[in-house]
Amino acid sequence: MLSSDLPQCPPGLLERAAGCRPARTIIAGADSAMAMESALAAAEGGLIEPVFVGRGPVVLEKAGELGWDIAGFDRYEAAGEHAVAAEAARLAGAGAGQAVMKGHVHTDIFMAALLTPEAGIRTGRRMTHAFHMSVAGFERALIIADAALNVAPDIKTKQAIIENSIDLARAAGVPEPKVALLSATESVSERMPSSADAAALTQWAAHLSGAQVFGPLAFDNIVSREAALMKGIDHPVAGDTDIVVVPNIECGNALFKMMVYFMGACAAGLVLGGRIPVMLTSRADPPAARLASAALAVLVANAEQAA
């Protein structure tokens, strides 16, 4: 049942990012083949100006293996995951970059350093994660949030997830995003807390301009207008969704991985809500997903500068 289709970086995302200035990007743990390959692809695509953090001799060695002369880029020495994460956080806090990319460092160590007050990238908004999912042959993308950072978000965190995801959709070219609040039912049930949260969030979101938020909606009502109408749901979000806000991380993780492994989807992931976007690339990510994440980060960074 697994798809044999290789993920493809969406051309529309690259075309939109091509109109932006390259984002100065801190590569945390650049002393690995995967991190250097990701940085090279993004730099050759005109997306980033890399700032390398890692063991200097190894950074140079990995770049040399790719035939990449990095003499003209800034490099900062750090050995060991904690030191690498701390140095990347320091640089981010000092304004040395417009984005951060996770390289050869574990996510928990990387994020813990970035989330400290000293790093200075936190704002008054909760930081959340979103996946921009695209499938070759389909023009429209789907944003899934939060599938990687907030495990069991409460109402306040879900509000931040909605706000951050709307900003991401607008940066990616969706001027008036439609947000679906996922549950396993389209009616409110006390036995299903996600449905009650969705109803409360729908009321709260009435003040948001330039976006529509609606729930609870089961997944069939999110992706199929016909299914929604059969159940008596006639709302602009139903069957025409740009963003799916999931009730918990398990649901989001399963949904995005289903799209990747069954549909060959390209998953571009960012941590949002901070002063600069954070790319949480993984060793399991294909090159297309890492490139798409860089393009998305450039769009978000440029949108934040323009705001």
Tell me which residue has tokens 């908004």: 125
Mean pLDDT of the chain: 94
To the nearest whole percent, how much of the chain has pLDDT over 90? 88
Q: Give the count of beta carbons closer than 10 Å to the beta carbon of residue 13.
A: 24
Report the pLDDT averaged over residues 89-118. 94
Q: What is the pLDDT of residue 77?
A: 97
Reported pTM? 0.95
What is d(CA 101, CA 71) in angstroms, rounded to the nearest whole number?
A: 20
207 domain-assigned: no
What is the CB-side half-sphere exposure of residue 92 using CA atoms within 13 A?
32
113 domain-assigned: yes
For residue 207 the two structure tokens come to: 């003040």
What's the CATH code of the domain at 275?
A: 3.40.718.10
pLDDT at residue 201 tops 90: yes
202 domain-assigned: no
Range(s) of the domain holding residue 291: 11-177+242-306
Domain count, the chain: 1
Report the pLDDT averaged over residues 77-87. 96
Q: Where are the alpha helices (DSSP H) in the chain?
A: 11-18, 33-44, 56-65, 81-93, 107-114, 155-171, 193-204, 219-223, 225-230, 249-263, 287-306
What is d(CA 27, CA 284) in angstroms, rounded to the nearest whole number?
A: 17
Q: What is the pLDDT of residue 282?
A: 78
What is d(CA 3, CA 109) in angstroms, rounded to the nearest whole number?
A: 33
219 domain-assigned: no
Q: pLDDT (tens digit, 9 = 90+) per residue, 17-69?
A: 998 999 999 999 999 999 999 999 999 999 999 999 999 999 999 999 999 99
269 domain-assigned: yes
55 domain-assigned: yes
50, 75 in Cβ contact below 8 A? no
149 domain-assigned: yes
Peptide bond between residue 177 and the one before it cis (omega within 30 degrees of 0): no
What is d(CA 133, CA 165) in angstroms, rounded to the nearest whole number?
A: 13
138 domain-assigned: yes
